[in-house]
Amino acid sequence: MSIYRAAPFHRVIEALESTRKAVENNLALLRKRLRVRDLLTLQGGHLVLDVTRCSVDLWALRQHLDTLLSQPEKPTDARAVRVGHEIKALARGEFLQGEPSGTPWIDELRRRVGEQLCEARRRLGG
């Protein structure tokens, strides 16, 4: 008795092809909703977001958190204060608010960003 299950190769190819078509259709819908030409492209087999033409709050928040948390324990210089204000402006609520818990990558990102925000608040004294 074999411990392997066999599937006809042509069925696997058909399933992959229908999945590829579904992804392409959803990508076309997303591009239409974005309303910005070439903001989201396929390049060399990768889906690429042109970050020179848009801003992603989470990326900006994490960049500011990294900057602040790489500073001495209680930063007091003007740059750290400015970064603190940027963090407060960007941290408007939970990441992907409205999305239920239970999606591992969302939950993990919420946890990590939450921990960094707590540490940033502690360092900034508020």
Number of domains in the chain: 2
Q: Does residue 26 sit in the same domain as residue 84?
A: no
Reported as type and span, the H/E element at residue 121 is: helix 104-124
**82: containing domain:** 57-124
Q: Are 96 and 106 in contact (CB under 8 A)?
A: yes
Q: Does residue 43 sit in the same domain as residue 61?
A: no
What DSSP designation does 38 have? T
Residue 2 belongs to some domain of the structure: no
pLDDT digit of tens for each residue in the chain (126 aa)? 567 788 889 888 888 898 989 988 998 998 888 888 888 888 998 989 888 888 778 888 999 899 888 877 776 678 777 888 888 888 887 777 777 888 888 889 889 999 999 988 888 876
Q: Does residue 15 sit in the same domain as residue 39?
A: yes
Q: Does residue 65 sit in the same domain as residue 87?
A: yes
pTM for the full model?
A: 0.59
Exposed e or buried b per residue across 46-59, where buried means at least 16 C-beta atoms within 10 angstroms of its C-beta: eeeeeeeeeeeeee
